[in-house]
């Protein structure tokens, strides 16, 4: 069995047993941390993991960061202006990324995740898998959104996190961002 599958098994056990009293928060937030080189392996396993959770009695829901960002950018009021600017200066990546980051980090993604969590509130066997976190690069990191949604996690929420674990609560998103210890979650793997 691969280390990803072993980590997923440990994650399931931790979800079943709930959070420990030593954590700063009692919200059911969990991170399955895996090396960025394993992104495709995780995507290949995701359906099987979802089926396994469903077979164990969970009502499985997912929230794809990539799909939500694509939708936010496709519907952005500035989209036509971005396309014209890109045609004029196609190599101005810093400027383009700055504009796109404003659209994503301006609260739209956080509101969508919050809305998803609200639809699951009160469902005792619901579990939410937040996937495709790599799509946040170079806009923001998920820890910012997690912090803003404090008190909103009422169902077990699992973030499939591509990064490197550097301590019990410290993570390096995608393995190259600076360490961040502002997570209020249980980390498995990494």
Domain boundaries, the chain: 8-14+23-69+112-189
Go through 14-26 and write b for each residue having 16 or more CB atoms within 10 A of its CB, e for each that does not: bbeeebeeeeeee
Amino acid 93: pLDDT = 62
Amino acid 37: pLDDT = 93
- Gap between the Cα atoms of 188 and 186, Å rounded: 7
Cβ atoms of residues 130 and 153 within 8 Å: no
Which uninterrupted H or E stretch holds 12? helix 3-17
Amino acid 90: pLDDT = 67
Amino acid 97: pLDDT = 66
Domain 8-14+23-69+112-189, CATH 1.20.120 — does that match? no
- Gap between the Cα atoms of 135 and 116, Å rounded: 18
Cβ atoms of residues 6 and 190 within 8 Å: no
Name the stretches of the chain with pLDDT < 50. 20-24
């Amino acid at each position: 069995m691969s280390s990803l599958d072993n980590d997923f098994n440990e994650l399931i056990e931790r979800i079943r047993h709930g959070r420990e009293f030593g954590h700063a928060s009692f919200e059911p937030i969990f991170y399955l941390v895996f090396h960025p080189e394993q992104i495709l392996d995780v995507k290949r396993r995701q359906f099987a993991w979802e089926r396994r959770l469903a077979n164990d009695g969970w009502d499985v829901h997912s929230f794809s960061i990539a799909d939500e960002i694509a939708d936010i950018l496709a519907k952005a009021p500035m989209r036509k202006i971005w396309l014209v600017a890109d045609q004029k200066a196609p190599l101005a990546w810093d400027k383009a990324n700055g504009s796109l980051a404003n659209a994503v980090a301006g609260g739209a993604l956080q509101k969508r995740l919050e809305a998803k969590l609200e639809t699951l509130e009160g469902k005792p066997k619901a579990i939410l898998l937040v996937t495709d976190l790599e799509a946040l690069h170079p806009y923001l990191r998920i820890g910012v959104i997690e912090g803003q949604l404090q008190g909103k996690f009422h169902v077990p929420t699992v973030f499939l996190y591509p990064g490197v674990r550097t301590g019990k609560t410290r993570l390096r998103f995608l393995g190259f961002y600076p360490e961040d210890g502002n997570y209020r979650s249980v980390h498995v793997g990494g």
